A and B are shown apart, each in its own frame.
Chain A
Amino acid sequence: MTAKTFAQKAIEQASGVPDLVPGQIVDAYPDLYMSHTASWRCIRTLEKMGVDKLYDVDRVAMVMDHLSPAMTAKTASDHSLCRSFARRMGIKNFFDVNAGIAHIVLMENGLIRPGQFVIGTDSHSTIYGALGAFGTGVGFSEITAAWVTGKLWVKVPESVRIEIDGELGSGIYAKDIMLKLIGDLGADGLTYCSVEFTGSYVESMSVSERMTFCNLAMEMGAKNAFVAPDEITFAYLDEAGAPREELKVLLPDEGAEYRSTVRLDGATLSPQIAVPHTVDNVLPVGDVAGTKLDQVFIGSCANAKYDDLVIAADVLSGHKVAQDVRLIVTPASAKIMAQASASGVLATLIEAGAMITNPGCGACAGNGGAMADGEVTLSTANRNFQGRMGSYDSKIFLSSPATAAASAIRGVITDPREIEAVVA
């Protein structure tokens, strides 16, 4: 029997079609259809179709994350439409404006499991690979179609392996590795590909770091991303309420065919930064050190998980945010916010001068934290496109939470290794 990649196995399982080869198009039946703030568009589309019976209501998951809480009457009415639809249809997996970012909320609640095929109205749905699932982004019409028919057409992708070995130096994190890869491979370096992350560093990563990896794979155009589930994954899933005996792990076969293998030695890395206006415009932080900042944003599905907040708090502890710099911290979920509150992380951040906002997409989706003409933000998010955060004449840089926190202290882009830890 031919050795298979993860993507081949996942699509074979979701389609029921055996022996798939890259390039083949089949109908796949996803295990879960995630829709976020775009849910109202799906509901309106469903109304247009005149359909009121869904294929499987238990595969629908809705999270009100991008514009939460509502700032306009229009958004409030969109939310209201989703709430009443969820109630009427009996959608159990409905998460309201208090929950946080869809991806993180679904994973925390045990709704994403190894081997599943998941589609979402969000390009960063590749993040589900952090738990060994096949996650990919689609438009809202496709979610609506899946609600009705249970399926969508899928092209079997080619696969690429990315192997990361070596220990990272102090002040260097998963985000730095991904920025380096995006810079090297380019914004379309993995277009239409399934990317499998392997190597000793990847095996040692927490689920949160695996999320950062799989999330940012999208910025190279990947269709989905994957980290092989292991004891670290199972421990996370235990806590999320996904019992081990229910899990059906899919692993790539030894000897499966890959388009290419990319190798990176983590030990050779320095802190990295994406400069305006594309994510693949990546430089060592040192090359732009001293650039004046108006705002620092620690948030998004890429880097606002609990350990990201801990990293930022460790750097900021005993320091103050520079004058004239606004530091906005938006925890990825309510659960993470509660954890950071209980452990004192939020108090450390607030003491340093940070402003904590409600969990959700926040400034990354342009919901608060907008910039004026000529302003500059350093963000831990995953996109720095022109105008994404306010004025079309403003700039966004992207970095790790450590670089963001260090830069907030100095008010200029700063290598986190230059900030001395203050022992409390």
Chain B
Amino acid sequence: MSSAHRVGGKVITFGENVNTDVIIPGRYLVSIDPAELAEHAFEPLGAEVQARLRASDIVVAGRNFGCGSAREQAATCLLGAGIKAVVAASFSRVFFRNAINTGLVAVESPAAAEAASDGGEMWVDYDQGVVETGGQTFAFSPYPEVLREILADGGLIPHLMAKSGGPR
């Protein structure tokens, strides 16, 4: 099954309550450049985790991923590191908004998060509302139309620009 809205690849797993200070420490918020931010993504967890992050495509986590600050760079830094989607048992609400608004696919699926293995493979199709991993398929409720449109345009700002017919 192919779809323009299917992303996936190698998985890196994290635990529960992964907070924004761990995802991108406050001292680096002086930047909004995805590549620059990516160099510091998950820095508190050490160089080994950072190297594995850069070699991965999908972040998988437990409950309350992205809790803490409203910093949008928590989503941007993951995009800069080449991450295409985050699949978690649940998200903090601000992280979820920031993910959609920056064009990072964020899927809430406790079952898929549970089934994923570190270093394994996972594919997410947000049009079909399915996650595939380890030979299993997990359904999730598709995004409401307004979110799907934002994501399809690559984030909130590109979405607004597309609607207004490009830069004014």
Residues of A within 8 A of B (CB): 25, 38, 41, 44-45, 48-51, 72, 74-75, 78, 120-123, 125, 137-142, 144-145, 148-149, 153, 187-188, 191-192, 221, 223, 278, 280, 365-366, 383, 385-388, 392
Contacts and interface: CB of A to CB of B under 8 A. Distances in A.
Nearest to A125: B70
Contacts of A387: 21-22, 25, 43-44
B102 A141 contact: yes
Interface of B: 17, 19-22, 25-27, 29-30, 32, 43-44, 63-64, 67-72, 75, 90, 92-94, 97-98, 101-102, 144, 146-147, 155-157, 160-161, 166-168
Nearest to B32: A41
A72 B27 CA distance: 12
A-B pairs, top 10 by smallest CB distance, nearest first, are A50-B167, A139-B72, A385-B21, A188-B64, A137-B70, A139-B98, A123-B70, A392-B44, A387-B44, A385-B19
Contacts of B167: 48-51
Query: Which residue, B20, B27, B75, B161, has most C-beta atoms of chain A within 10 A?
Result: B27
B160 A149 contact: yes
A141 B70 contact: no
Nearest to A193: B93
Nearest to B166: A50
B168 A51 contact: yes
Given A223-B93, A387-B43, 5 more contacts: A49-B157, A123-B94, A141-B157, A187-B64, A188-B67
A142 B97 contact: yes
13 contacts: A38-B29, A44-B32, A121-B70, A123-B68, A137-B70, A139-B98, A139-B102, A141-B156, A145-B156, A188-B63, A188-B90, A278-B19, A387-B44
B63 A140 contact: no
Contact of A278 (B17, B63, B94, B144): B17
A141 B32 CA distance: 11
A191 B90 contact: yes
A383 B94 contact: no
Contacts of A38: 29, 71
A392 B68 contact: no
Contacts of B32: 41, 44
A140 B93 CA distance: 15
A138 B160 contact: no
A191 B30 contact: no
Given A49-B167, A50-B168, A142-B97, A221 B92 contact: yes
A59 to B, nearest CB: 18
Contacts of B155: 141
A122 B157 contact: no
B144 A139 contact: no
Contacts of A191: 64, 90, 92-93
A74 B147 CA distance: 34
Contact of B67 (A75, A187, A192): A187
A338 to B, nearest CB: 28
A142 B93 contact: no
Contacts of A75: 30
Contacts of A120: 70
B27 A138 contact: no
B71 A139 contact: yes
Nearest to A188: B64
Contacts of A144: 157
Nearest to B46: A392
B112 to A, nearest CB: 18
B21 A386 contact: yes
Contact of B92 (A139, A188, A385): A188
Contacts of A48: 157, 167
Contacts of A50: 166-168
A338 B130 CA distance: 58
A207 to B, nearest CB: 23
Contact of B69 (A44, A123, A149, A280): A123
A385 B98 contact: no
A153 to B, nearest CB: 5
Nearest to A46: B157
B144 to A, nearest CB: 5
B94 A137 contact: yes
Contacts of B92: 188, 191, 221
B141 to A, nearest CB: 11
B124 to A, nearest CB: 21
Contacts of B22: 385-387
